[in-house]
Amino acid sequence: MTARPIDLDAARRLLAFCDASPSPYHACATAAALLTEAGFTRLAEDAPWPGEPGRWFVVRGGTLIAWVTGSGHQPHDGFRIVGAHTDSPNLRIKPQPDLVRAGARQLGVEVYGGALLASWLDRDLGLSGRVAVRRNGSGAMVRLLRVDRAVCTIPQLAIHLDREVNTAGLKVDPQTHLTPIWGVEPPGGAPSEDGGGLVAFVAEELGVDPDDVLGWDLMLHDLTPGSLVGRDHELIGSSRLDNLASCWAAVEALTEVAPTASEGQIPVICLFDHEEVGSTSDRGAASSMLPTVLERSVLARGGDREAFHRSLARSACLSADMAHATHPNHADRHDPQHRIALNGGPVVKVNANVRYATDAPGVALVALAAEQAKVPLQRFAMRSDLPCGSTIGPITAARLGITTVDVGMPQLAMHAAREHAGSHDPAHYRALLAAFLSPG
């Protein structure tokens, strides 16, 4: 097999995608913009769907599903699905966040997902997410909010006051040690009227009255932009590589195969929210959203429930989520028979207890796609004495009853505020997903 040439432009596009997507809602907006530019049309879930061939997508909160149908597609044709997720572990703003301690204005936050807590300390943090505001007249509307300036920071305790931190290790209590500072009270003066009020701040950013702010899904994000790293740019560093790298690769793969998707299996990507907290929501992988979208696409093309179930029997899914590269400073935490290299190509993830959905037929599908894409393929298994994480793979397999395989791009420092991966791997990953969506 002839190797693909090194493509740093793909790495740069990935970094730009991550920088543009500080929250799941922004990730969907970024993906939607790329799809729209490639000729996709957004459909409303409460409107009739067209039956003619086309390029379509729907968005529900932080989840986006897109697909392509061609003139030769039949209602009973199977789906080739790439699933990923838009959310990443972070710090989310509580409903009543304002407090003052020791003269500092602070915001109450709650840890979302399995965040590497220490990595959030001593960083410049912005604010992003969505806000429900009162609509003129009646009702409410949702607005995206993105504040890309350093509005918050979480200072670590000085070593002079924690002499054993370098030997005993840092212990972070999420309730007391992760409360960000975003202002100070005047020395010796009375507290300000709004106590640093988040509502007033959000209202000003959105240009609305504070009384019109009805609710929010807001979170903090690291402001350091993504970058090429290493002597010869062999690495990339960015926030939210897990799992925006998979979202970016899925979107680019779908736009690549769209022009030739006229018959055979129908290419689909689904970028779910809430994977990091179990996927049980109205828009997570455990919801009815994906099966409903697939069924509606069959019905719109003149099929019925029988055709839908026939299509599922011909379908397959690749669950795209990041994989652990072998850490050079902690190699003992990895299975010695399954070393994973940065820039070594995509990774098939296997677990005997089905924490990953991969089985032999799924591995075969990915191996053939890797041959078609001319990319190397690595294989991962967790140490038998360490617990294994999971993905949307098993959930999707159970919801749809279709062959599902877990694949990822290798990275270091998964779930940290900033993560690193190989700069050659984004191009490999994108090519593999394109080949899976449109097998040759």
196-255 pLDDT, tens digit each: 599 999 999 999 999 999 999 999 999 999 999 999 999 999 999 999 999 999 999 999
Q: What is the pLDDT of residue 188?
A: 66
Q: Strand ranges (DSSP E) for 341-402?
A: 347-349, 378-380
The stretch 344-349 carries a mean pLDDT of 98
The stretch 92-104 carries a mean pLDDT of 95
pLDDT at residue 136 above 90? no
- List of domains in the chain: 8-88+239-437 (3.40.630.10), 90-222 (2.30.250.10)
Residue 111 corresponds to which tokens in the numbers above?
A: 């840890």
The stretch 302-323 carries a mean pLDDT of 98
pLDDT at residue 287 above 70? yes
Using an 8 Å Cβ cutoff, are 83 and 285 in contact? Answer: yes
Q: What is the pLDDT of residue 3?
A: 63
pLDDT at residue 307 above 70? yes
Q: How would residue 262 be classed by pLDDT, with cut points 50, 70 and 90?
A: confident
Q: How would residue 440 be classed by pLDDT, with cut points 50, 70 and 90?
A: confident
What mean pLDDT value characterizes the chain?
95
Burial 414-440 (b: 16+ CB within 10 A, else e): bbbbbbbbbbbbbbbbbbbbbbbbbee
> What are the φ and ψ backbone dihedral angles of 206, each rounded to 5 degrees?
-90, -10
Among the residue ranges 120-124, 184-188, 303-307, 336-340, the one predicted with the least confidence is 184-188
Task: Kindly give, in sequence order, each residue whose CB lies less than 8 Å from that of residue 268, ignoring residues fewer than 6 positions away.
Answer: 65, 66, 67, 79, 80, 81, 82, 294, 437
Q: What is the pLDDT of residue 62?
A: 98
The stretch 112-133 carries a mean pLDDT of 98
Q: How would residue 176 be classed by pLDDT, with cut points 50, 70 and 90?
A: very high
Burial class of 10 by CB neighbour count within 10 A (0 to 12, 13 to 18, 19+) = buried
Using an 8 Å Cβ cutoff, are 96 and 213 in contact? Answer: no
Residue type, 309: H
| CA–CA distance, 193 with 186 (Å, rounded to integer) | 12
Using an 8 Å Cβ cutoff, are 369 and 432 in contact? Answer: yes
pLDDT at residue 397 above 50? yes
Q: Helix count (H) and strand count (E) of the chain?
A: 10, 20
pLDDT at residue 424 above 60? yes
Q: How would residue 192 be classed by pLDDT, with cut points 50, 70 and 90?
A: low
Q: How would residue 137 be classed by pLDDT, with cut points 50, 70 and 90?
A: confident
Residue 250 corresponds to which tokens in the numbers above?
A: 């899925």
Q: What is the pLDDT of residue 195?
A: 46
